[in-house]
Amino acid sequence: MTRPLLLLATRNPGKIAELRGLLAAWPWEVVGIDEAGFREPLEEPGPGYLESALAKASTVCAATGLAALADDSGIEVDALGGWPGPMSARWMGEEASDVDRLHGLIREVDRRTPDDRRVRYVCVAVLARPGAEALIGRGECLGTLVDPRGTNGFGYDPAFLSLDLGVRFGEAPEADKARVSHRARAIARLAESGVFAQPPI
């Protein structure tokens, strides 16, 4: 029996790998948009996580007629009012790399709030389906911003010391991170609806 297709509305290879792992238990064939031949840009209008995730998922679903999953996520520094938040991937400009942003954030925290390094990861995931209302899941996890170490994960993971695990996400085995991460928790909230256990509408 052919498994239903679920398109991942992202071109971030780290997200694709992580989402495939998180969705492996369900009977969907999980495919990236480039694999599916979708070439259009994905807009992230903001201002919040939900608006950007909804725009990406809805755009891919409408263009392909297939179920599409998108997320928007970020790291929030408590002492800076949640900055950079939804701008986590863009606050240094489009040309900056993950490493640039990671070290840039550490410098900003060292300069502005060196005595309070509490952070949280936040993720909002949206599943858009043809002819059905979009489903939304939100997840977050708490941590401390520390000197980077480890090569696992992506983005700010090497400097995110997880309160759940007691180690940096950059050092944590994939299976451990998948139990507690903000993205895992957002997907788990979507899964509570039973949608991943069923074929698309």
Span 96-143, pLDDT tens digits: 999 999 999 999 999 999 999 999 999 999 999 999 999 999 999 999
d(CA 94, CA 91): 8
- Domain 5-197: which topology? Maf protein (3.90.950)
Q: What pLDDT sits at residue 198?
A: 66
% pLDDT > 90, the chain:
90
Mean pLDDT value of segment 9-22: 94
H or E element that contains 54: helix 49-64
Residue 14's nearest CA partner among 118, 179, 158, 136 is 158
What is the share, in percent, of the chain residues with pLDDT greater than 70?
A: 98
- pTM, entire model: 0.94
CA dist 50 and 124 (Å) reads 6
Contact partners, residue 71, CB within 8 Å, separation at least 6: 10, 15, 19, 53, 123, 124, 125, 126, 183, 186
- The residues carrying an active-site annotation are 72
Phi, psi of 109 (to 5 degrees): -70, -40
Q: What is the mean pLDDT of residues 81-89?
A: 97
Q: Are 185 and 142 in contact (CB under 8 A)?
A: no
CB atoms within 10 A of CB 175: 8
Average per-residue pLDDT for the chain: 94
| First-to-final CA distance of the chain | 17
Distance CA 158, CA 145 (A): 9
Give the integer Cα–Cα distance in Å for 124 and 186.
Answer: 6
Q: Give φ, ψ of 173 to 5 degrees.
A: -60, 150
Task: Name the residue ranges covered by the structural domains of the chain.
Answer: 5-197
- Residue 56 tokens, joined: 């990406």
pLDDT (0 to 100) of residue 76: 98
Q: Contact, 155 vs 98, CB < 8 A?
A: yes
pLDDT digit string, tens, across residues 26-69: 888 999 999 999 999 999 999 999 999 999 999 999 999 999 99
CB 68 within 8 A of CB 127: yes
Question: What confidence tier does 196 reach under pLDDT thresholds 50, 70, 90?
Answer: confident
Return the H-helix or E-strand segment holding 83.
Answer: strand 83-84
